[in-house]
Amino acid sequence: MDNILVISTFIVSLIMISAGIVGIVYRRNLVAILISIEVILNAINLDFIMFSRLKNEMGQMVDGQIFALFNILIAAVEITVGLAIIFAIRNTIQTSDIDKLNKLQERVDE
């Protein structure tokens, strides 16, 4: 039973990570990209907490859990700055579509 649980958790978290990476490239909405990043961070957290159960020493297990704690903190920081950037973009060009963010692009032909 333990094998099934561990391996299924691992595979689920891998699917979440790769789907998050696909989402970052695939989605055109800034908020949706932030959501994809959140999913990736959560999948990594799940891995940290599950694999800390496989350690055979108390201190090492606490290490894994504290990494998860700092990961949550990083996610909070990331969402703060990310949402601030989204608000700034909203204020300047009134959109949340990243295809419209091409003011610095060189116009080759038009």
Partner 1 sequence: MWSEVLYLVLLIGVLILSLVAIFNREVFNAAVSLVFAFILLSGIYLLLGSEFLAVIQLIIYAGAIAILILFAIMHTPAKIESLGQAKIFDYKPHYLPAFLLGIVVFSTLLGIGFLIIKEIGINVNNFKITLKDFANALFNLKDIGNYGGRFVLVFELAGILILASVIAAITVAKKE
Within residues 31-90, the interface with partner 1 by CB under 8 A covers: 31-32, 34-36, 38-39, 42-43, 45-46, 49-50, 53-56, 58-59, 61-63, 65-66, 68-70, 72-73, 75-77, 79-81, 83-88, 90
Shortest CA distance to 96 belongs to which of 86, 83, 85?
86
The answer to whether the CB of 29 falls within 8 A of the CB of 52 is no
Q: Which is nearer to partner 1, 58 or 108 (CB)?
A: 58
Calpha distance 85→18 (Å, rounded): 25
Q: Which is nearer to partner 1, 91 or 103 (CB)?
A: 91
